[in-house]
Structure 1
């Protein structure tokens, strides 16, 4: 693996990159990327292609490395910044938003659990400097999305690590600069005894095994691959995956995904609003029949945003409290966030389509909501809601029912 050995030069480069980006507020840079993402969203969906222009814009604007701490060349963006980023991109292009959400989840794991490891700290610098895009490989074989059980195991020697994995889904795998994956700790380890390991592009090969011809989220290019990787033993995270999963992977993923889905929902409500306003103007101020469905869409969007905000505040308050993050109450809530947010997002977009009527159902015209509906229908299936509810059933029964409104 090629690495810069002059740490002084790298530090200087990191600082220059950081200053160049921070000169413009992150929100403004996100807005610029969102505008580009929106301009290619229809083509990305139609052709089932990766959103190259949007992701290149995200690189140019420093979005991919924004979460990296300042000391490693990033700008230390917070989880609030990341969720706002996902929401804004979701309003523009669902595939772009989901790619960024998955990337930022992996970066969050690296930032929180990679400190103290020279190899992972160098990778943080590379992400900040080069704006590397990191993919995720958590689904394999026949595990049906159960990411707390792995089939493939890593093989570790004193200096090296290797892995062969039947990855049924690696979103944007062919376009990524690296992949973060889970695996059993050893060949004789239990399926739940997992580690997290990250490989950069020079460490692995991907052999396509499954295509990605889907109803929506077509631009994520979530194809299946056989992943063969060889790297350094230092690339394996020291912390057990169960801790990373509870403290970072699940909370950040569910907050980021939900924000992206909320963005899709908001875009559909905006189109419904424009349709109702135009129809009312044409009818001398009389509201069309679809106005009731617009109101329903607006209400469910308000609930969706409030749900995300509440869980976001809870996570931020406990972000560095391992005991609080591992508590049954928090784990149940953050898993239920994914379930409730995905269902509310679908409900919102469906109401928006009914508000627009045939104009929303059409795939052309200013009021089409077809792409939004097809994209958001993936939300309840992305780590299936039924699986989540089954997995947290016992924990929900054990968790106390709140005795106060703010308790």
Structure 2
């Protein structure tokens, strides 16, 4: 298969690599948009789109070039996801989960010189394996049970909200083990084709219906000691989770930003065709203002990643950005619906699907209560170790 990231002997400039990734996303977008309504209507996973993403070389986009990938950094990957999500929100969000699971070890390889992640990154580049995230199940508290046995652990767990489960090769997850009376989260990869791993079709939802975010059930899987990447105390922030939170959320929320931008474009086109009155002009202005606020907040999230200093401070800044992107992206789509008027209620116009899809922005960590407590604690100089 040809990859858009195949290169000549000479190292091309960063901008050239960026254009290739974005050009590939733009080339795929029309087909994604054409299929989006069908996947939404029949609750089917966007499987064809994943095959197209593999063909285009976007699965390995975030792998460092030295390891065989596209070498794309966070800003480039965010723009790629925005383009995809404008066409199909489900594909953008589901693929953001793979993308951030590649971007995190890539960042650790580049900036922390963590050699242990190299094998995984080379596999993504060479085999185009799809990584799954169980972040919806496995936030700071962790979930599932790991029982110590000879040579490793026996794991039993149910991981909900596993976007793209049907296409996945390796689930990046964890489980809780009692270590000398302390609840400890062990982190490891789970082969999706293992006999002890199954998918339960639970994903019938308000929006994001094509993400295939079904439950993954792990029933007595043996995980060797050598397969445990790291461990941490359950219910407390760990330095690796500062890397995860700082890196992942600009990518995830790039998808929601793309959805709000496409809703704006649909509403503007509909208003122009009808001939806007004074009220509609005001609605359009409020919509533009909210969209710009979401864009500015997202840009700030990317800037924080580019500090290359994951910490409690970077988590705070990214989570403030996440809250602002969610708030203003949702408001943008609500105003788009109002601007479109009754026509926006028809499925054929695509606006009501985006209205349903954007609601997903509410549910990722840190949700409003924990995010406010985290930001407030940081402002007041209080500890945030257990705020999540």
Offset of 1:371 from its aligned partner?
Answer: 0.2
Aligned to 1:74, what secondary structure does the other structure show? coil
CA distance in 2, matches of 1:164, 1:194: 13
Offset of 1:208 from its aligned partner?
Answer: 4.2
- The residue correspondences of 1:110-189 to structure 2 (distance < 5 A) are 110-113=105-108, 116-117=114-115, 120-140=117-137, 147-155=139-147, 160-184=152-176, 186=178, 188=180
Structure 1 residue 314 and structure 2 residue 304: aligned? yes
Cα RMSD of the aligned pairs, angstroms, is: 3.0
Offset of 1:203 from its aligned partner?
Answer: 4.1
| Counterpart for residue 217 of structure 1 | 208
CA distance in 1, matches of 2:364, 2:114: 33
Distance 1:48 1:306, change over 3 A: same
For the 8 Å contact 2:17–2:70, the answer to whether it is kept is yes
CA distance in 2, matches of 1:261, 1:112: 23
Offset of 1:391 from its aligned partner?
Answer: 4.7
Offset of 1:180 from its aligned partner?
Answer: 0.2
Offset of 1:356 from its aligned partner?
Answer: 0.5
CA distance in 2, matches of 1:206, 1:238: 21
**Match for residue 370 of structure 1 among 339, 344, 352:** 352
For structure 2, the 5+ residue unaligned runs are: 9-15, 383-388
Q: Note the alpha carbon deviations across 1:86-127, whole angstroms, 9 max, x for none.
A: 111111111100111111111122223466555x42221121
Offset of 1:23 from its aligned partner?
Answer: 11
**Match for residue 206 of structure 1 among 185, 197, 204:** 197
Aligned to 2:347, what secondary structure does the other structure show? coil
Structure 1 residue 73 and structure 2 residue 68: aligned? yes
| Counterpart for residue 241 of structure 2 | 245
CA distance in 1, matches of 2:178, 2:2: 37
Structure 1 residue 383 and structure 2 residue 371: aligned? no
CA distance in 2, matches of 1:393, 1:171: 28
CA distance in 2, matches of 1:52, 1:32: 17
Aligned to 2:133, what secondary structure does the other structure show? strand
For the 8 Å contact 2:18–2:72, the answer to whether it is kept is no
| Counterpart for residue 271 of structure 1 | 266
| Counterpart for residue 336 of structure 2 | 352
| Counterpart for residue 380 of structure 2 | 398
Distance 1:230 1:174, change over 3 A: farther
Offset of 1:69 from its aligned partner?
Answer: 1.1
Q: Does 206-215 or 125-134 show the bigger shift?
A: 206-215
**Match for residue 54 of structure 1 among 49, 56, 72:** 49
| Counterpart for residue 8 of structure 1 | none
CA distance in 1, matches of 2:91, 2:158: 25
| Counterpart for residue 326 of structure 1 | 311
For structure 1, the 5+ residue unaligned runs are: 1-12, 141-145, 281-285, 401-407
| Counterpart for residue 385 of structure 2 | none
User: Under a length normalisation based on structure 2, what TM-score does the superposition of the two structures give?
Assistant: 0.85
Aligned to 2:217, what secondary structure does the other structure show? strand
CA distance in 2, matches of 1:24, 1:277: 32
User: Under a length normalisation based on structure 1, what TM-score does the superposition of the two structures give?
Assistant: 0.81
Offset of 1:396 from its aligned partner?
Answer: 3.5
Aligned to 2:7, what secondary structure does the other structure show? helix
CA distance in 1, matches of 2:151, 2:102: 24
